A and B are shown apart, each in its own frame.
Chain A
Amino acid sequence: MIVEYFRPKDIKETLDLIKSPEIKTLIMGGGTSIDRYANEPFAVVDLQDLGLNSIKAKGKTLEIGATVSLQALFEHPDIEPDLKVSIRMERALNLRQVATVAGTLIASGGRSPFSTVMLALDASIALEPGDENIALGDLLLFREEKLETRLVTRISIPLNAQLAYEYIARTPADVPIVCAAVARWPSGRTRVTLGGTGGAPVLAMDGPDGGGEEISAADAYSRAGDEWASSDYRQEMAQLLVKRCLAKLSN
């Protein structure tokens, strides 16, 4: 349960708080992913006063402050239509108003449409202290280690990459059973990611140019069965959705 609440005014104060040895201290973005009913006592650090809520286009990159809400990103004019789709699929409006971009990525599981798409876009995560930049893919695999006593301040995504997202779900707004995203840069670099199961979306391919996307997807989801779908279904669907993404990009 939450036993202390802090609202620091700057990053240094934030870092000092989350380093506190006295009590486990969690960073609270929008607060939508915090388990308030856990019996273990913990403190929360609310980031809303840090000024990390702006979105800036810098050259070919969109820099998204860590506390930008999903809805604010959804409403931004520069983002790809399929990124919008993934945000809309991630959470309903009420939660999008509060859930932050950083918080959503950090707390996301493998069924997250938004994480799947951001992974395809090779989102870069800026961490303090040290102003270190780390790829989302690296962060998702090692969240606990990488984020211990550190703060995400910014997420950067390319503005020059084309993006396609496809999903299968029981209903139009349901959590996906399988989803796929393909991002392609002008250089031909192509990233394929898959979601719908597991602890995090997976990178199926990152190649300097196209080719082999569908096979990569099938390989990546060759053992992706769980209580929601069988492995053979996911494998075939991953391949199909990637094919559809590629067709979309070609159009």
Chain B
Amino acid sequence: MNILTCEKVTKVYGSGENRVTALDGIDLTVDKGEFVAIVGASGSGKSTLLHILGSVDKPTSGTVTIDGTDLSRLNQTQAAIFRRRKVGLIYQFYNLIPTLTVRKNILMPLSLDKKKPNKEYLEKIAGSLGISDKFEALPNQLSGGQQQRVAIARSLIYRPALLLADEPTGNLDQKNSREIMDMLKLSNRNLEQTIVLITHDEKVALEADRIITIEDGRIQKDERREVKKLS
């Protein structure tokens, strides 16, 4: 079952001599429960694609449908609410809200909808991410690895249709990178969470069961892999 469909997605910045085509007719489908890695060199258009998938940016042409919603039809407010409920975004630099505690950061998407959290689910996520004892800390009191775990927990709290991760290990050491990737894989396997991960690191990409290579705004390669199951 398709959770994400991109049809002829094009994104153009500037005009005239300054015209840059960041994405050039991208066609892409992702099934529910897939773990997709998008790789490409710097400036290849992978981050632009991620922003469009996250309803942060709009394509110049083409359509993006996530879980049955056509993103191009959403206005600013609808896009924000869609982001809150359907997409979990994870960034290289965590983007936690520095003035809120870990607990409140994680629950932020629910709080915006004035929804009460499912305590068991919250504890399950926090427990599996190893941050149960950090609930009352502020982000700046945590290490980079811990902050990224909080960001993952926040992205999962609404059980989104799609989890988008932009270089989630780019700012972490090897050990923490390994752990973060294991956690993403765990959520993919155990919660059947669809994940689209952007990276320029081939080792990280190899953890995914599908690798899409982008070059000059076009998909160059799309290969499915058989990945060893986590115990």
A interacts with B: no
Contact surface of B with A, Cβ cutoff 8 Å? none
Contact surface of A with B, Cβ cutoff 8 Å? none
